Amino acid sequence: MTVCLMAGLLALTISAPAAGQATTTTTTSTAKRASAKPRLVELTGDDKVKYDKTEITAKPGETLRIVLKSIGTAPKAIMGHNFVLLKAGVDAVEFNKASFAAREIDYVPTELRDQILAATKLVGPGETAEVTVKVPMQPGRYTYLCTFPGHFALGMRGVLIVK
């Protein structure tokens, strides 16, 4: 028993790094990845009920900082915009229909939060909102939309392409 304990301590002593020495390159790389800034994606919404980008491409696991700015002039009460990124497989049409009843919470239904990857608040002329999202690891196409009534139907939508 003493021999086993001594052998274990010897192995631990031999493999332990000297004080102040980095343990492995992997640890350093992991730290760099964890501290990497999210990639900025700027998105605008206008009075023509369109986003300026209908496709965003990202790598699996990448972190994105989505900044939405309303560049229109119509009041928020009639032309507010938001950004809602849905999980894979969510029916955007049905999600949009449910959002009509969620006026008090920027047209993002609380009961459907489990279908959302990211969402911003509603913005009006000159306002911005942002959200940071970790891109899913699963490659595919993820729909994003404005849930203000009528905007999705008029084409205010896009797709996040993960590849």
pLDDT the model gives residue 35:
53
Per the CB < 8 A criterion, the answer to whether 156 and 51 are in contact is yes
Block means of pLDDT (10 residues each) for the chain, length 163 residues?
A: 39 37 36 71 97 98 98 95 97 95 90 96 97 97 97 97 97
Q: Please return the burial class of 76, using the count of CB atoms within 10 Å of its CB with bins 0-12, 13-18 and 19+.
A: middle
pLDDT the model gives residue 36:
77
State if pTM tops 0.85. Answer: no
Strands (E) across the chain are located at 39-45, 55-58, 63-70, 84-86, 116-119, 128-134, 140-145, 157-162
The encoded tokens of residue 160 equal 């996040």
Domains and CATH numbers, the chain: 38-162 (2.60.40.420)
